[in-house]
Amino acid sequence: MKVIDGKALAASLRAEIAKGVEELKTAKSVTPGLAVILVGDNPASVSYVTAKEKACREAGMASREVRLPADTPEADLLALVRELNADPAVHGILVQLPLPKHIGEKNVIDAIAPEKDVDGFTPVNVGRMMIGEECFLPCTPHGIVKLIEFSGMDIAGKHAVVIGRSNIVGKPVAALLSRKETNATVTLCHTGTRDLAHFTRQADIVVVAAGRAGTLTGDMLKPGATVIDVGVNRIEDPSRPRGYRLVGDADFDSCAAVAGAITPVPGGVGPMTITMLLWNTLEAARRSAR
């Protein structure tokens, strides 16, 4: 059984990205710039944003952080997004989700210029991905495909079962895995699926993105299957200094006993999400310099 090391793959891709950043600076005098907007002080969002900014700087990019109070009116946030859309030093715009309840997430995402939508969340980018046009692929799903390839598996012809149908993970993962380039046969499962294990036991690849610890257990797997665990769940653990630990959606020990390969949590999908954000930001800067 192989543990798929997301940190190692992320490190090698980030080194490649940093090289690309240097080349762009030298050849075109363009420094890729990412603007990261955080509204409020949700602790998980603060730590995600901090990690994204750090990764950005380490890759040699310019990171502009905009932290706004939780009661920021939607109109002010929309005005900021439009200002960043027009700023030539900003190649990528990321609005950290979730936003406070009084702000319409859809309105804000729709306001981001598609050529700066490095999260790949705008309807224009999602549509382009579905019809195979040039676009920014959403970061977590793109990272998942890279991880499966990195594990050594040839995805073509395999049966992939995706658990979860969110717009940011499940649906785009299913779309990417079923593209002609990857060529998997995909089954998309959700809470309306009757007998989830019936499907997962037929899968060569299981991507679990349900947001619930213990959704996938070893008895639900075909021997040798590859498991990509997207979930991030806090479990109380008084033995840890913070009082909790992070676990995925797969029960690691029972799944590892049956699987051929599995991603750990943390250290699997998480580092790849930020890496693919850097990838898209570099690509956005390259396109602007064409």
Active site residue 41: no
Cβ-count burial 236-251 (b if 16+ within 10 Å, e if not): eeeeeeeeeebbbbbb
Question: Judged by CB, which is closer to ligand NAP: 80, or 274?
Answer: 274
Shortest distance in whole angstroms from residue 185 CB to ligand NAP: 19
- For the chain, count helices (H), then strands (E): 10, 11
The tokens describing 116, both together, are: 């700066």
The tokens describing 32, both together, are: 């890729």
Active site residue 71: no
Shortest distance in whole angstroms from residue 114 CB to ligand NAP: 21
The candidate with the shortest Cα–Cα distance to 122, out of 171, 65, 167, 187, is: 167
Distance CA(204)–CA(185), nearest Å, equals 10
Question: Judged by CB, which is closer to ligand NAP: 90, or 162?
Answer: 162
The tokens describing 111, both together, are: 């306001």
Catalytic residue among 96, 146, 204, 251: 96
The candidate with the shortest Cα–Cα distance to 6, out of 122, 143, 169, is: 143
Which chain residues interact with ligand NAP by CB under 6 A? 140, 163-166, 168-170, 189-193, 196, 209-212, 215, 230-233, 269-270, 273
Catalytic residue among 117, 119, 229, 249: 119
Question: Judged by CB, which is closer to ligand NAP: 80, or 209?
Answer: 209
Shortest distance in whole angstroms from residue 270 CB to ligand NAP: 4
Active site residue 25: no
Shortest distance in whole angstroms from residue 117 CB to ligand NAP: 17
Active site residues: 52, 96, 119
